[in-house]
A and B are shown apart, each in its own frame.
Chain A
């Protein structure tokens, strides 16, 4: 079984500042990794995914994440955030044989002017 830990429940940041949302996973097998975003009163939307290949993954809205197998991490970064990035961000993992995702508890990104 897999598990995901999102170390920060809330991350306040000023507009145009860089941000990093941390995610660590646990699994005894090879995994796929994902970041999803949830805006208020909406469903989840895929930001980016790591399936294989390059460990640096670029997603939508200027976000990127780096897969670090030795540290079992998949941190999400953005060099300059906007007010519109305020949302809940979820890290998720699945093993390569299944399709169901295990989600972390989420990190609320609050971008302040």
Chain B
């Protein structure tokens, strides 16, 4: 158990819909990262937050957004969903440079 909690574990929805994925980082970790894992793209960095502020942005689509709340949990919002958005979405938190602790992921299926 990494200490990072992600919900929901599985989500099935239709094209055009919007979903929200939630992440609770390890106690004391201020940084939260979101990654997307798919068969064709591999592990892609989406966005990082540090203590409520956006720190770095990767290959995140404009249809996607995220935020980190004062209690440090984070949400990733995916809207106008397309078939190609089907993937595993991982959240990770970090106490030190590069030492990311990953949650078990949220598997999104878009039909």
Contact = CB atoms under 8 A, between A and B. Distances in A.
B45 A101 contact: yes
5 contacts: A36-B100, A46-B101, A49-B99, A100-B45, A106-B43
B104 interface: yes
A44 interface: yes
Interface string B56-84: 10100000000000000000000000000
Contacts of A103: 35, 42-43, 45
B48 interface: yes
B107 to A, nearest CB: 9
A94 interface: yes
Contacts of B55: 99
Contacts of B103: 43
B99 A43 contact: no
Contacts of B104: 41-43
Interface string A63-103: 00000000000000000000000000010101010111111
B94 interface: yes
B42 A101 contact: no
Contact of B43 (A45, A51, A90, A99): A90
B36 to A, nearest CB: 11
B21 interface: no
Contacts of A34: 98
A43 B98 contact: no
Nearest to B100: A101
Which residue among A44, A92, A98, A105 has the maximum number of chain B CB atoms within 10 Å of its CB? Answer: A44
3 closest A-B pairs by beta carbon, nearest first, are A43-B102, A103-B43, A44-B102
